[in-house]
A and B are shown apart, each in its own frame.
Chain A
Amino acid sequence: MKEERLSDGASRLLERARNVPALDVERRVRMKRAVLANAAAALPGGDDPGAAPAGPAHTVNAWRLGLLSAVMVSAAATAVALSWPRSEVSGDVHGPSTNTSAPPTVIDSPVPAVAPDELPAPGSSAPPAEAVVPTVPSPHALGSAREGKSERRRTTTVPSPALSAAVDVPELASSEARQAPIEPPSSQPPPTAPGESSTSSLREELRLVRSADEALGAGDAKRAMELLGEHERRFPRGTLASERSMLGILALCAAGRAAEAREQADRFAERHPRSPLLERLRHSCVGGGKP
């Protein structure tokens, strides 16, 4: 009934416009990472992965818990990527420690660019969201207007170049993370809360990786490598595996093992061509001018 009422030209134009290529897997995954890295910065709980927000509606709250656990993962990653002082890594980073006895195993981790469960089946889309989100009738126009306002207001904080240029992500995310605590995390998730186990393991991951970073900042490459080694043993495919790899490279730099560092860095860049973490590597002994 629709099409016969349109002219040929109009129908043809519509038909052509409908025919678009599907999203390829690589782009899909790349976008997902960028989204998580950016979005996490705006959410509460970045500093305390164990906390979950209180909320009145059960279903919504469950959804948010689940969401937050996903966010925390990237929040943690983001925080890790960001909380490190840049001065530590800029220029020739050779900490006082040139200890070469640290375990080299740290660096050889076969870090998958993408966790297996992140790999989508092309073209498939499970519909989990609708199942959980409560159906609350709301006047369309009203909601639309409200949405529009906050939309315009908030999107201005996300300059689009930051999205396409992965290297901009850390700065953007970090500044927002600092100034935008949205709501205080106030209640613990129930024992059966989804993401509980991943939450605690994430916290532990975060602790190890942060400590390693702090050790690096203090010039203790050996300690950093130990911590990263522990992370690798316990979380070989952990959420922060790529952060671990990146820190491992910095640790090699700090230990004066630039050749190994470069080798690892090449591999890292191959696996994570658009990782925001590359920016940090760029300021290390593997970036720019070779030592």
Chain B
Amino acid sequence: MTTAADPAPTFASIYDAHVDYLWRAALRMGLDEAAAEDVVQQVFIAAFRRLDDFEARSSTRTWLFRILLRHVRQHRRSLQRKSPHAFHDAVDPDLLTAPGDSPDLALARSEANRLIRLFLEELSEEKAEVFFLMEIERMTGPEVARLLEAPVQTVYSRQRSARELFEIFVDRIGGRGQ
């Protein structure tokens, strides 16, 4: 009849440890807050149901991150099905050229996140995760390599390729917006 305080890691503690990260990552991938809330919940629930998969994994965070990546992609697809025009490609040119003191920074931020998401959609999953982890999360190549259990050269090569595509993407949306 004691309280429920126990020192062992519980699902609740897993949640506590990673929810902030997943939340930020979801926003950084371009979900608005309501969508991020749904998707992050789904990620945890999915994780919950897949403990067997989890047990062979070395990093909870990576594992959750990958689930998140997929859910964000799915989320976008389902939104597109529901309202095909929800994602238009028009871009505020200021986003790429103006100095940081935008009149509406929050708007610029969410727009930037939306664009990042559009870009991530275009990448293969492997490149998308490397790009996100290195360019947005600013992890180093060796860190990402450890996280993804991939050779560091592979990571760098994915990064290089993703960066090239990103420049093309930026040119494209910049040109269209102006």
Query: Are the chains A and B members of one assembly?
Result: yes
Contact call A66/B6, Cβ cutoff below 8 A = yes
CB distance from B45 to the nearest CB of A (A): 5
Q: How far is the CA of A15 from the CA of B38 in the complex (A)?
A: 25
With a CB–CB cut-off of 8 A, which chain A residues contact B30?
17
Q: Is B152 an interface residue (CB 8 A)?
A: no
B58 partner residues in chain A, CB cutoff 8 A:
133-138
From A158-166, A215-223, A224-232, A252-260, give the one contacting chain B: A158-166
- Tell me if A160 and B38 are in contact (CB < 8 A): yes
CA distance A13 to B28 in the complex (A): 11
From B8, B44, B59, B113, contact of A62 by CB (8 A):
B8
Counting CB contacts under 8 A, is A269 at the interface? Answer: no
**Are B6 and A35 interface neighbours, CB within 8 A?**
no
* Docked-complex contact B66 and A147, CB < 8 angstroms: yes
Q: Give the docked Cα–Cα distance between A8 and B95 (Å).
A: 11
Q: Which of B113-138 contact A (CB under 8 A)?
A: 113, 115-116, 125, 134-136, 138
Q: Are B12 and A36 in contact (CB under 8 A)?
A: yes
Decide if B17 touches A17 in the complex (CB within 8 Å).
no
Q: When the two chains form their complex, are residues A123 and B53 in contact, meaning their CB atoms are under 8 A apart?
A: no
Main secondary structure of the interface of A (DSSP, over half): helix
A16 within 8 Å of B (CB atoms): yes
- Interface size class of chain A, counting residues whose CB lies under 8 Å from the partner chain: 35 or more
Q: Does B37 contact A (CB under 8 A)?
A: yes
Question: B142 in the interface, Cβ–Cβ < 8 Å?
Answer: no
Q: Which of B4-24 contact A (CB under 8 A)?
A: 4-21, 23-24
A42 interface residue, CB < 8 Å from B?
yes
Given contacts A17-B113, A126-B16, A198-B2, contact A64 B57 (CB under 8 A): no
In contact, A34 and B113 (Cβ under 8 angstroms)? no
A212 at the interface (CB under 8 A from B): no
For residue B126, give the distance in angstroms from its CB to the closest CB of chain A. 8
| Given A9-B97, A23-B19: 5 more A-B contacts, CB < 8 Å | A8-B96, A70-B10, A70-B11, A133-B59, A155-B71
- Chain B positions near chain A (C-beta within 8 angstroms): 1-21, 23-24, 27-28, 30, 33-34, 37-42, 44-46, 48-51, 53-61, 63, 66-67, 70-71, 74-75, 78, 95-97, 100, 108-109, 111-113, 115-116, 125, 134-136, 138, 148-150, 163, 166-167, 170-171, 174
